[in-house]
Amino acid sequence: MVEYNRSSSLLPLLHARSLTSLVMAMVNAENLDAEIEQLLNAEKHARLAGDVAATRNAVTEILRLCFEARAWNTLNDQIVLLSKRRGQLKQAVTAMVQQAMQYIDETPHIEIRINLIETLESVCAGKIYVEIERARLIKNLAKIKEEQRLIDEAADLMQEVAVETFGAMAKTEKIAFILEQVRLCLDRHDYVRAHILSRKISTRVFDAHVSKQKKKAKEGDNVVEEAPVDIPSLPELKRIYYELMIRYYSHKKDYLEICRCYKAIYEIPSVKENPTEWIPILRKICWYLVLSPHDPMQSSLLSCTLEDRNLSEIPNFKLLLKQLVTMEVIQWTTLWDSYKDEFENENILEENLGEEAEEDLRERVIEHNILVISKYYARITLKRLAELLCLNVQEAEKHLSDMVVSKALVAKIDRPMGIVCFQRAKDSNDVLNSWAANMERLLDLVEKSCHQIHKETMVHKAALTV
């Protein structure tokens, strides 16, 4: 009996099916090539005749056929070919790029998507009339690179585009693009370039009224395109901008600027209407105000924050700020015991500030105490100064010297005698000016006295004659 081999009997059938699919693919490819060839001839005649509508329809139809046939390599080749044809119309290139951009999300895998984006980007390079499309393509490609954890490549791609020079791009889209550049620079720890890019955005643009932004275009003006749907609104962009600047200033350990950023976020209407959002932000404003070195800007922000009615919702922070404006010595141990748990809360300070913030807080308290002492004392011994500051003599002298060097305070130390003098030494000009001012006040007083005496004399003489 002859054995029946099933696998050998199916082999010719499988070969037949594969050959059939191969033949069908070849037929489809031949049909696609034939249809593309006809459209290319039609596009040539329309282009030479200067027919914009017909040329645009021909190039878009070619791309549609390639997309429906899922011939991605052919699609890339046709895009390059059509863009390089002699005397190609700008409107046709623009329509072709815009239509091909709609196919990016329909690509089957990431390699084909990257090839299509790179092809379109090379077509758009150097052409002003498709500069917005090129910027969007680069942003899309940078997003893919970031998903692949290639942060440096994504940042380099984004920095090639200067969207601030694009007249037809919507304002919100420009801001969103620049903020993406800043974010990628911060992710790669390129803080210098991040700061340079952030200065391209004027903070006044966030305060512009919505009704003033939309104006009817006059004849001859450049038409500004509408921003894509996924672009955030101005208030959202404002919050993103200041959150990125908080990351930058946290690296620089600039507490006052961090406070100002949180203050700007606090002023956003959507934030101020929601207590669950503005209460944590107001707490951070208070803490960063306390951590900021004493200067006129810090004093201004401090008084402005104390006048805020919302501060009554967090009375312990209101008490903390009042201690800074009260001319009384603050006891560090008492303050730290009262606010230690709140200060060490993970949601209060930024991650990279760490334990340095605690030392800075202690130093701010010492600086406040030295300023208070300078208001009450003209001369004080170093030993007594150290007792009031709860420090030893060496630490008190160091903090006092640092404040003098930073010009936050005027003082002189007589180290052999151990005496601190908070009065400014006067030179000969100051003494002379002071003496002249005193003499002027004395002469004014003498003149007024003589006038009063003369007046009384005249009154009495008049009474006697009567």
258 and 334 both lie in a single domain: yes
Segment 298-345, tens digit of pLDDT? 888 988 988 888 888 888 888 988 988 888 888 888 888 888 887 877
Q: What gap in Å lies between CA 133 and CA 140, rounded to an integer?
A: 11
Q: What gap in Å lies between CA 408 and CA 295, rounded to an integer?
A: 8
Task: Tell whether 367 is covered by a domain.
Answer: yes
Q: Which residues contact 198 (CB under 8 A, 6 or more apart)?
A: 178, 182, 241, 244, 245, 248
Question: Which SS3 state, helix, strand or coil, does residue 432 take?
Answer: helix
Q: What is the average per-residue pLDDT within 388-406?
A: 88
307 and 416 both lie in a single domain: no
pLDDT at 186: 93
The tokens describing 69, both together, are 């046939």
Mean pLDDT score of the chain, rounded to an integer? 83
381: enclosing H helix or E strand: strand 379-381
Confidence of residue 352 (pLDDT cuts 50, 70, 90): low
264 and 391 both lie in a single domain: no
Q: At residue 12, does pLDDT exceed 70?
A: no
Helix intervals (H) in 267-412: 269-272, 275-291, 296-306, 315-325, 332-343, 356-376, 382-389, 393-405
Task: Tell whether 265 is covered by a domain.
Answer: yes
Contact 125, 134 (CB under 8 A): yes
Tokens 């010297």 belong to residue: 401
Task: Tell whether 183 is covered by a domain.
Answer: no
Q: At residue 444, does pLDDT exceed 80?
A: yes
Q: What gap in Å lies between CA 16 and CA 157, rounded to an integer?
A: 49
pLDDT at 435: 86
Q: At residue 138, does pLDDT exceed 70?
A: yes
Q: At residue 11, does pLDDT exceed 70?
A: no
Q: What gap in Å lies between CA 39 and CA 61, rounded to an integer?
A: 8
251 and 365 both lie in a single domain: yes
Task: Tell whether 446 is covered by a domain.
Answer: no
User: What is the span of the domain harbouring residue 77?
Assistant: 37-124
Q: What gap in Å lies between CA 238 and CA 292, rounded to an integer?
A: 23
Question: Which SS3 state, helix, strand or coil, does residue 463 take?
Answer: helix
Q: What is the average per-residue pLDDT within 205-221?
A: 57
pLDDT at 249: 92
68 and 106 both lie in a single domain: yes
Chain center to CA of 464: 85
Domain boundary among 336, 359, 374: 374
Look at the chain and report how many structural domains it folds into.
Answer: 3
Question: In 10 A of CB 162, how many CB atoms?
Answer: 13
Task: Tell whether 23 is covered by a domain.
Answer: no
The length of the chain, given as a count of residues: 466
Contact 278, 266 (CB under 8 A): yes
Tokens 């903070």 belong to residue: 203
Contact 47, 89 (CB under 8 A): yes
pLDDT at 13: 31
Q: At residue 244, does pLDDT exceed 90?
A: yes
Domain boundary among 93, 108, 124: 124
